[in-house]
Structure 1
Amino acid sequence: MIKWFAAVLGYIFFRFPGAALGFIVGSLIDASTGKNSNGGFKAIFSKEQTVTPADFELNLLSLSSIVIKADGVVNQTELDYVRRYFVSAYGKERANATFRTFNEIIKKRQISAHRICLFISQHTQYPARLQILHFLFGIANSDGHVSEAEAKEIQSIAGFLRITVRDFESIKAMFFKTGDHAYTILEIDKSATDAEVKKAFRTMAKKYHPDKVQHMDEVHVKGAEAKFREVQKAYDQIKKERGMS
């Protein structure tokens, strides 16, 4: 076994510290070249999967197509919304090239939302996934109304993206204006005390702060700013209703 050879070699040159280090390094080499319990090779030193911007764009387009087709109608307004996003993010030339692929995606009958979301979850941080969810709601709302079918499809995607129910409901409330939507945005009940309202606002403002997605495209940063404004509006509405200072 390589680990024992390395341990002996380490002892010869560096005594006991060298033996310990040699054993550890040798063990890693053994693990990387030996078979695991399933008969396959355990790739300790395997290269990480390379993820390009094109990979992210393609998966985002695929999720967009799922939302667009959710109600059984391919709405031109929703298509234009996605196009404007890509033009803002990548420029007209690249957006046009991307949309040639998008047209093919739209025609596909079956797209695995679970597989796409698994890929995205593995390669993006949680705040970025929240922004993707906000973007999908923006698509659905671009014609002035989020249908129940669209909301249901986005909820399914949110689950695959491992977004919590409360975060999903918070972002959904930014588009579904109900009597209690301000409380839902802040992820609290209407019975919350004034102190709890203030605490919830601070928590949500931190969660949705644009700095959380500074590593993403400018258009996503603008989307984060829109979420942040909705949190502020919800807080202002509750303060006004309660007469809070």
Structure 2
Amino acid sequence: MRYRSYNNGGNYFYLGILIFFMFGGFKVLFLFLPLLFSLAPIFLLLFIGSKVLKTIFGNSAINNSIHGSSQERLHYVELMIHLMAHAIKADGVVDNREIQTLFTFFQSRLQFNTNQLRWVQDLIQYSLRKNYPLEIIIQTMNQEFQVHEKQLSIELLIAVIMADEELHENEKVLLDRVAKDLQIDNEFYNQLKSKYIKNTESHYDILGIKPSATTDEIKKAYKNLCKQYHPDKVQHLGNEFKNFADEKIKEINKAYDSIMQKAKA
């Protein structure tokens, strides 16, 4: 799979060509044309040049913000966004609420800085235009990442799809296919659907259990979730993902403590 590149080599080349023509190159081309026609391309070049410079500065800012990040982390973020693009378009409508949910995840949950968010925004628009085949995205994720990274991806996928509070048939088919092809555990997948698709945030939904669950079932669900969201599992992706896992563990602990207190009462 070809990943997004922010190297400005090509842009500097185009800028050099533009400067060449602006400082004499067009004299040869327009030697026999009226002055009016010779000025028009100059204005066009100025316009194009401003666009190229804007792209260069934008790419440089993004490049600086992601400089030093591991290729594994960069690839993971890009693959996630390519996957989310399929979710955003699954119902046939590009809903801004779904885009905002994806953007907010990186802004609030992962606490990306301004330039990193600019990178995310660029990747979202790029992914919506590029439309990489879903099977290629899934194949690459299976090759490059472990179960914990894939579980995080499927959770965000469900959150994005449910941003408009509706689950269309095409979205359901997409979810089931991605969960199956990413080899997501059925119990974990059902827990996520219970939490997001019913649009509830009860402590039972967080643990993926019913209010009638026994103490042993509560403890089992709690232990499984703690293993799945342990911060050490995603530490290699950067502090943002580790912090997200920390918050998930706090949420799980709070839900578990509340349920166990009720069970003892």
The answer to whether structure 1 residue 153 and structure 2 residue 183 are counterparts is no
Corresponding residue SS for 1:78: helix
Compared with structure 1, are the counterparts of its residues 244 and 125 closer, same or farther at alpha carbon in structure 2 (3 Å cutoff)? same
Partner Cα separation in structure 2 for residue 124 and residue 229 of structure 1: 25
1:91, distance to aligned residue in structure 2 (A): 3.2
Do the aligned partners of residues 227 and 170 (structure 1) sit closer, same or farther apart at CA in structure 2, a change above 3 Å counting?
A: farther
Q: Is 2:126 aligned against 1:104?
A: yes
What are the Cα deviations for residues 86-132 of structure 1, in whole angstroms up to 9, with x where unaligned?
45565323442453343232135x53222211111111121111111
**Residues 31-66 of structure 1: CA deviation (Å, up to 9, x unaligned):** xxxxxxxxxxxxxxxxxxx95544333322210101
- Normalised to the residue count of structure 2, the TM-score between the two structures is 0.58
CA contact (8 A) 1:131 1:220 kept: no
- Residues 67 and 153 of structure 1 are in contact (CA less than 8 Å); yes or no, is this contact kept in structure 2? yes
Match of 1:66?
A: 86
CA-atom RMSD in angstroms: 3.4
What TM-score, normalized by structure 1, do the two folds share? 0.62
Task: List alignment gaps of at least 5 residues for structure 2.
Answer: 1-69
Letter in 1 for 2:126: E
Partners in 2 of 1:230 and 1:155 — Cα distance?
26
Task: Find the residue that maps to 1:215 and give its secondary structure.
Answer: helix
| 1:18 equivalent in structure 2 | none
1:7-46 equivalent positions in 2, closer than 5 A: none
Partner of 1:205: 226
Relative to 1, partners in 2 of residues 1:112 and 1:230: Cα closer, same or farther, differing over 3 Å? farther
2:73, 2:238 within 8 Å by CA — same for their partners in 1? no
Q: Any runs of at least 4 consecutive aligned residues in structure 1 with deviations exceeding 6 A, and if so which?
A: none
Q: 1:216 aligns with which of 223, 229, 237?
A: 237
- Give, in whole Å, the separation in 2 of the partners of 1:191 and 1:94: 44
CA offset at residue 68 of structure 1? 1.0
Return the alpha-carbon distance in structure 2 between the equivalents of residues 174 and 161 of structure 1: 20
> Could you give the per-residue CA deviations for residues 183-217 of structure 1, whole angstroms, max 9, x where no partner exists?
67546677653234223322322332233222223
Tell me the residue number matched to 2:191: 170
- Assess, with a 3 A threshold, how the Cα gap between structure 1 residues 69 and 196 changes in structure 2: closer, same or farther: same
Distance 1:119 1:99 in 2: 22
What is the one-letter code of the residue matched to 1:59? L
Mapped partners of 1:204, 1:107: distance in 2: 36
Separation in 1, partners of 2:175, 2:244? 17
More helix as a share of residues: 2
Residue 98 of structure 2 is matched in structure 1 by: 78
- Whether 2:261 is the aligned partner of 1:244: answer no
In the alignment, the residues of structure 2 paired with residue 201 and residue 86 of structure 1 have an alpha-carbon distance, to the nearest angstrom, of 26
SS of the residue aligned with 2:264?
coil
Structure 1 residues 119 and 80 mapped into 2: Cα distance closer, same or farther (>3 Å)?
same
1:93 aligned residue (106, 111, 115): 115
